[in-house]
Chain A
Amino acid sequence: MKDIGFILLSWVITVGSIATLAAVTLRRARELSARVPDDKKPWL
């Protein structure tokens, strides 16, 4: 496959950035959840 470096880099940046945001979001949610009582979370 020609230009595989550029193509691979595009996909690694795309998937990697989205996965990083998802991981950061979940980690922050875990931290804040521990400080807020469950009965104050309307989605539960």
Chain B
Amino acid sequence: MHDMTGTKTTRAIGIIALLVTAWVVISAFFITPADQVQGDSVRIMYAHVPTAWIAYLAFITTAIASGFSLARRHRTLGFDRVAGASAEVGVLFMALTLITGSLWGRLTWGTFWQWDPRLTTTLFLFVTYVGYLAVRRIDGDPRQRARRSSVIALLAVLEIPLVHFSVVLWRSLHQEASVLNPDGDVRLDGLMLFTLFSGVVAFTLIFAWLVIHRQRLMALADLDRVVGLDAAISARRAEGIGSAAT
């Protein structure tokens, strides 16, 4: 049995993430009360808000890892893999934010989609990072790929403040932040807030688990290419020695 990308630490993170996620789901459906204004549809918030925050976290992680990848002469590929893995997970969470937001919007606004500032900037952020992932797949030298994608990641992260403050900067259908708002006032009941933060903890652990595994997966893919190349070179040399002897 070959050891894969897991270690004791990742197994511990995975188990804790599963337990916290189970608590969030139970609390979201059976323990927290319905909202006075939005009714039961607020139960989508415990999935929607953490996915949005974790997408931001993922894209900021991508930018930081890209910065290190550009600044350092050594281990640039290691940082580049973390940047790529984090962006992959971020794109999934951003897609989930858009989907859950759309379903929540149907219940509260009566429509799945509006070209509203928050929704439009979020979609723009999502498309930007899909583009980033596409650029990463362009064939070429891995170090050149790392440099190219690092520059894009450092520019793309500048969109996050625009998305977050879009509800303040422009007239928006989307509600203002209930927790991370400019006046610092938390507009949530205690149990609802606790469940929301539990969701953030659960999704942060899931994010960490996924990024660790996926960056090791990228390392394995690179190693597999090197091992394959070494084997091909050895086979070619053996062929050469064989033909020289005959």
A32-B103 contact given A7-B40, A15-B21, CB 8 Å threshold = no
Number of interface residues of B (CB under 8 A): 43
Contacts of B217 in A (CB 8 A): 25, 28-29, 32
List residues 198-246 of chain B with CB under 8 A from any CB of chain A: 206, 209-210, 213-214, 216-217, 219-221, 223-224, 227-228
Which residue in chain A gives the minimum CB-CB distance to B214? A25
Query: Smallest distance from the beta carbon of A32 to chain B beta carbons, Å?
Result: 4
Residues of B contacting A: mostly: helix
B25 touches which one: A3, A9, A15, A28 (CB < 8 A)? A15
Interchain CB contact under 8 A, A7 and B43? yes
Query: Smallest distance from the beta carbon of B164 to chain A beta carbons, Å?
Result: 21
Contacts of B44 in A (CB 8 A): 6-7, 10-11
Which residue in chain A gives the minimum CB-CB distance to B10? A43
Query: Smallest distance from the beta carbon of A27 to chain B beta carbons, Å?
Result: 10
Interchain CB contact under 8 A, A22 and B210? yes
Interchain CB contact under 8 A, B227 and A40? yes
A18 touches which one: B43, B106, B206 (CB < 8 A)? B206
Residues of A within 8 A of B (CB): 1-4, 6-7, 9-11, 13-15, 17-18, 21-22, 25-26, 28-30, 32-38, 40-44
- With A7-B43, A14-B100 given, name 7 new contacts (CB 8 A): A2-B39, A3-B41, A10-B103, A11-B29, A15-B25, A17-B95, A40-B223
